[in-house]
Amino acid sequence: MSAEDVVMEIRKPHFTVRLHERSLEVDLNEGVRKELEDVLEAKHALRESLGFLFQTIVPLDVDLKDIESVKVDKGQIKIVIPSRRDLAIPLKPGESKRLVEKLNELIGLEKERVLRDEEESRRTRRALESKISAAKAGAESLERIGR
């Protein structure tokens, strides 16, 4: 994630929320939990294996495609992520409303992009499989002729 693709940023005394085009980043600003978060986010394999255990202690970045829903609940933004602990972000009402609106917009766009990419991948795979089948059939024909 680069600073160029930040769509929205909200700074608070203890944490910073950065909304990117394809992910949501909630970073702690100080303390031991921030150091643990930095270690987990720096090593992808570590985050994938141990991230589930530490998600109750430190917030980890979330791909927008993985978010099921976003809503304001009791003054906090509640983000529902299947197979992960829900994420609650305490913000002011105006900030919450703006972030939820932008999140919902970008989540829809990201899920559409992922579907397009998957469909393109399936089309490419089918085209390659048919070319491979044709090449195998041609090789078998040449082999039979050569016998």
- Fold classification of 3-111 is PH-domain like (2.30.29)
The CB-side HSE value for 94 (13 A sphere, CA atoms) comes to 1
Largest CA distance in the chain: 80
Cα–Cα distance for residue pair 47/25, rounded to 1 Å: 14
Q: Where are the domains of the chain?
A: 3-111
Predicted local distance difference test score (pLDDT) of residue 54: 45
Tokens of 67: 């978010």
Helix axes 32-42, 44-54, angle to 10 degrees: 140
- Contact yes or no for 113/23 (Cβ under 8 A): no
Cα–Cα distance for residue pair 75/92, rounded to 1 Å: 7
Predicted local distance difference test score (pLDDT) of residue 57: 46
Predicted local distance difference test score (pLDDT) of residue 37: 54
Looking at residue 15, what DSSP letter applies?
E
Residue that the structure tokens 């703006």 belong to: 98
Cα–Cα distance for residue pair 48/87, rounded to 1 Å: 17
Comparing CA positions, the residue from 61, 81, 69 lying closest to residue 16 is 61
Comparing CA positions, the residue from 18, 101, 104 lying closest to residue 59 is 18
Predicted local distance difference test score (pLDDT) of residue 146: 67
Predicted local distance difference test score (pLDDT) of residue 119: 93
Predicted local distance difference test score (pLDDT) of residue 107: 95
pLDDT in tens, the chain (147 residues): 455 689 999 998 888 888 999 999 887 776 545 555 555 556 555 555 554 444 544 456 788 998 999 999 877 899 898 877 788 888 998 899 999 999 999 999 999 999 999 999 999 988 888 888 878 877 777 777 766
